[in-house]
Structures are given as C-alpha cells and as structure tokens.
C-alpha cells in the first residue's frame, strides 16, 4: 500500500468517526509556505470522489490590503498577525456543530490574481461529509491560533525539502507579478520567517506526510 493509499484510508476513517457523531469531519493540512498544501488538498479530494468534500482555505482569512496598510503590516503579509485568526476559529466552531442544526456555512476564499480575500465564496452545506482546511498556522501556539487544532479531527503536516519549497515560492511570486529579485527577497525574508514558525508546530501533527 502506498503512502497515498494510506492517507485516503485514514481520511475515510476520520469521516466515519465524525459521521457516527452526526457532524462533518474536519481535516487540517498544514505546512510552510511553498509546501504544496492547496495541491495536496485538491489531490486528496479527487481521491475521495464518493465523499462529499469541500476545501476551506485558511488564506481566505487574510486581512485586506487596505487594512494591512492601516496597521503597518503590508510588508509582512502572510505573518500570523495579518490574518483574522479569531474569525477563522469562529468558522471552524460553526463547521464543528451537528449537521442537523448547522445549515449552510459560507467561507471566504483568497484569490491570488487580486491578492485579496473574497467573502462568501465557499459554501459548506450540512450534507458535506468532509471539510479539508489548509493553511500555514493550524498548529501554531498562542491565542487564538492554538484553538484551531482542538477543533479539527486531525492535522497533517506536509514535510517538503526547503530548497524545493523555496523554488516553488520564487516561481509563484514571479507568476503573480514580482520581479525575480523581489521574488527571491520575499521568499528569503517574510516567507522564511513564517516557515520557521510553521515548522515549530510539526510535533503536534497527527501525520507527517513526506514529499
């Protein structure tokens, strides 16, 4: 059995436990910037074609650029204090409620083409079997981030070699408009500082997924 097969089976077990309790399963996927969290989540969903699954990205809770500028944090966009962490926790609490009384829940989504969050972009209906939520800070210590892992059934950590994820980050920044020099500076500056914070939570993960 491959690692991928094992993870699919584990996902199904998480769903079965939650279903027995009358709720939607909540699975977290965490990793440092450039680890490939979105790609991994999409592949997992494709492998669970018979499971009603919705991906809810933590990045939807980015503060808007206008607010980051007001706070003087725009040049650190992506750091923990540039997100509405309390709002993310509140959403997870709603999703953890029994399905029969929860109704529809709408989550925001981050659009990279405009570098801004868009409210109400992701519907999670009561029929949903599994929510996969992916982001950097699912295992971060310190309030309110430390509440996240208590609301999730499991959190999986994507372990990717640093040189691989840095190369991905540089390429992504260039695709979205940065010059090669600016892309490298951001990758080795804010992104790297955030990556160290994420890596500190690795020991809290239920599963470490190798590249």
Helix axes 37-47, 3-20, angle to 10 degrees: 70
pLDDT tens column, 138-180: 999 999 999 999 999 999 999 999 999 999 999 999 998 889 9
How many domains are contained in the chain?
Answer: 1
Average pLDDT of the residues in 20-45: 95
Say what percent of the chain tops pLDDT 70: 99
Q: Which domain holds residue 143?
A: 3-210
Q: How far apart are CA 11 and CA 19, in angstroms?
A: 12
HSE, side-chain direction, 13 A CA sphere, residue 39: 9
Q: CA 40, 135, 166: angle at the middle one, nearest 5?
A: 70
Would you state the pLDDT for residue 1?
44
Q: How far apart are CA 100 and CA 144, in angstroms?
A: 27
Would you state the pLDDT for residue 206?
96
Average pLDDT of the residues in 111-120: 87
Average pLDDT of the residues in 48-69: 96
Within 10 angstroms of residue 157's Cβ, the number of other Cβ atoms is 24
Would you state the pLDDT for residue 176?
84
Average pLDDT of the residues in 99-120: 90
Q: Which residues does residue 210 pair with via DSSP β-bridges, in sequence order?
A: 159
Would you state the pLDDT for residue 39?
93
What does DSSP assign to residue 190?
A: I
Q: How far apart are CA 17 and CA 26, in angstroms?
A: 11
Would you state the pLDDT for residue 113?
80
CATH number at residue 15: 3.40.50.300
Would you state the pLDDT for residue 2?
57
Q: How far apart are CA 174 and CA 40, in angstroms?
A: 22
Kindly report which listed range (52-66, 118-132, 150-164, 170-184) carries the lowest average pLDDT score: 170-184
Average pLDDT of the residues in 33-49: 93
User: Is it the case that residue 4 has pLDDT exceeding 50?
Assistant: yes
């Amino acid at each position: 059995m491959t690692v991928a097969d094992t993870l699919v089976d584990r996902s199904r077990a998480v769903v079965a436990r939650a279903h027995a309790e009358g709720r939607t399963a909540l699975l977290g996927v965490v990793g440092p910037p450039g680890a490939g969290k979105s790609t991994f989540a999409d592949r997992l969903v494709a492998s669970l074609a018979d499971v009603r699954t919705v991906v809810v990205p933590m990045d939807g809770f980015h503060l808007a650029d206008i607010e980051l500028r007001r706070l003087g944090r725009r040049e650190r966009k992506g750091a923990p204090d540039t997100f509405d962490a309390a709002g993310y926790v509140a959403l997870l609490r709603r999703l953890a409620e029994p399905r029969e009384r929860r109704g529809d829940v709408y989550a925001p989504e981050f659009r990279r083409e405009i570098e801004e969050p868009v409210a109400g972009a992701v519907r999670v209906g009561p029929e949903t079997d599994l929510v996969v939520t992916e982001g950097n800070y699912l295992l971060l210590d310190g309030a309110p981030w430390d509440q996240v892992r208590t609301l999730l059934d499991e959190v999986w950590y994507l372990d990717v070699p640093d040189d691989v994820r840095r190369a991905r980050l540089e390429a992504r920044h260039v695709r979205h408009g940065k010059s090669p020099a600016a892309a490298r500076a951001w990758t080795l500056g804010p992104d790297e500082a955030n990556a160290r914070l994420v890596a500190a939570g690795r020991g809290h993960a239920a599963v470490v997924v190798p590249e």
